[in-house]
């Protein structure tokens, strides 16, 4: 469109930037919605983050995603935070409204939106493997959605206990910790089991250490890993009759939520999922 005037620009700031499936997905969604918007992927070193955010303000970008290593550091450069981002202490999505930069976190919201397609988390018992950024975002958002109990199983005790404390004290969701030092046995009353670790990223054969005999067919089993989407963890769960949710759904939904935040309109989620599948050659 050589003669068109770009209406708005959104960007992603991170480092290093080696291809960005989100850019591919967002640009397809803008076209499908008839918006002449652009989504730029920008490599910004940590020492230049303040200048990067200043540039976003000065050039009037409509918003941005922030990724590793900026999700925590960006907070001091913003004008306000959503409740979820404030509780998580991490921002991955910023909206530029009336000259103010407002930070949100769409990772957990994207997960909860995927989960809601099969189950309402209210009052449910959830077990999460891992306590890193993704697990933290999911746990806080599930707590804000009224989950009944969240068990965090993590290899590193201090990190797991810190998340449990956050859930109990600030999110006001009953939570407990299990040290994950051997095959995890899913407690019988659990409704949802989530792999929130990086195990399985880029490795379809990677095993998440769980006791497969504790997987009941009533369980919903979800994975944050989106590449490959059919992880070994999900395949084992499906083999036990569990309903499964892949990480691609979470990635699409966090993109859908970002799109809504920036544009105020509903994107075509199918176009976004197809774009991701094409980009990832699935």
Q: Which of 55, 69, 89, 132 binds ligand NDP (CB under 6 A)?
A: 132
Q: How many residues does the chain have?
A: 282
Query: Is residue 156 at the binding interface for ligand NDP, with CB under 6 A as the rule?
Result: yes
Of 254 and 263, which has the nearer Cβ to ligand NDP? 254
Query: Is residue 133 at the binding interface for ligand NDP, with CB under 6 A as the rule?
Result: yes
Q: How far is the CB of 61 from ligand NDP (least distance, A)?
A: 22
* x/- track of binding to ligand NDP for residues 198-227 (CB under 6 A): xx-x----------------------xxx-
Q: How far is the CB of 135 from ligand NDP (least distance, A)?
A: 6
Q: Which of 53, 254, 258, 261 binds ligand NDP (CB under 6 A)?
A: 254
Q: How far is the CB of 114 from ligand NDP (least distance, A)?
A: 9
Of 233 and 262, which has the nearer Cβ to ligand NDP? 233
Cα 141–chain centre separation: 10
Beta strand extents in 120-188 (DSSP E only): 125-129, 149-154, 175-179
Q: Angle CA(173)–CA(174)–CA(175) in degrees, nearest 5?
A: 105
* x/- track of binding to ligand NDP for residues 92-131 (CB under 6 A): ---------------x--x-------------------xx
Q: Which of 155, 161, 240, 243 binds ligand NDP (CB under 6 A)?
A: 155
Q: How far is the CB of 43 from ligand NDP (least distance, A)?
A: 18
Contact 66, 43 (CB under 8 A): no
Catalytic residue annotation: 71
Most distant CA pair in the chain, distance:
62
Residues 34-93 that bind ligand NDP (CB under 6 A): none
Q: How far is the CB of 182 from ligand NDP (least distance, A)?
A: 11
Contact 108, 142 (CB under 8 A): yes
Query: Is residue 247 at the binding interface for ligand NDP, with CB under 6 A as the rule?
Result: yes
Contact 192, 216 (CB under 8 A): no
Enter the DSSP assignment of 113. H
Site residues for ligand NDP per CB under 6 A? 107, 110, 130-135, 154-156, 159, 197-199, 201, 224-226, 247, 250-251, 254
């Amino acid at each position: 469109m050589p003669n068109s005037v770009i209406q708005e620009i959104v960007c992603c700031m991170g480092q290093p930037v080696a291809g960005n499936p989100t850019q591919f997905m967002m640009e397809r969604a803008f076209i499908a919605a008839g918006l002449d918007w652009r989504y730029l992927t920008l490599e910004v070193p940590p020492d230049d983050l303040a200048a990067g955010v200043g540039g976003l303000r000065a050039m009037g970008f409509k918003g941005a995603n922030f990724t590793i290593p900026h999700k925590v550091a960006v907070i001091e450069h913003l004008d306000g935070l959503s409740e979820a981002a404030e509780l998580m202490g991490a921002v991955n999505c910023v909206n530029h409204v009336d000259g103010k930069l407002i930070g949100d976190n769409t990772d957990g919201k994207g997960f909860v939106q995927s989960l809601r397609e099969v189950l309402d988390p209210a009052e449910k018992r959830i077990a999460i493997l891992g306590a890193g950024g993704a697990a933290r975002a999911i746990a806080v958002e599930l707590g804000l959605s009224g989950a009944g109990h969240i068990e965090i199983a993590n290899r590193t005790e201090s990190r797991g206990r810190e998340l449990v404390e956050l859930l109990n004290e600030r999110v006001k969701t009953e939570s407990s910790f299990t040290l994950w030092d051997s095959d995890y046995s899913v407690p019988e009353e659990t409704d949802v089991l989530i792999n929130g670790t990086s195990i399985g990223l880029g490795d379809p054969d990677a095993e998440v250490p769980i006791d497969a005999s504790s997987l009941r067919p009533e369980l919903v089993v979800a994975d944050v890993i989106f590449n490959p989407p059919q992880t070994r963890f999900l395949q084992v769960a499906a083999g036990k009759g569990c309903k499964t949710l892949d990480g691609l759904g979470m990635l699409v939904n966090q993109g859908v939520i970002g799109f809504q935040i920036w544009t105020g309109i509903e994107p075509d989620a199918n176009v976004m999922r197809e774009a991701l599948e094409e980009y990832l050659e699935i």
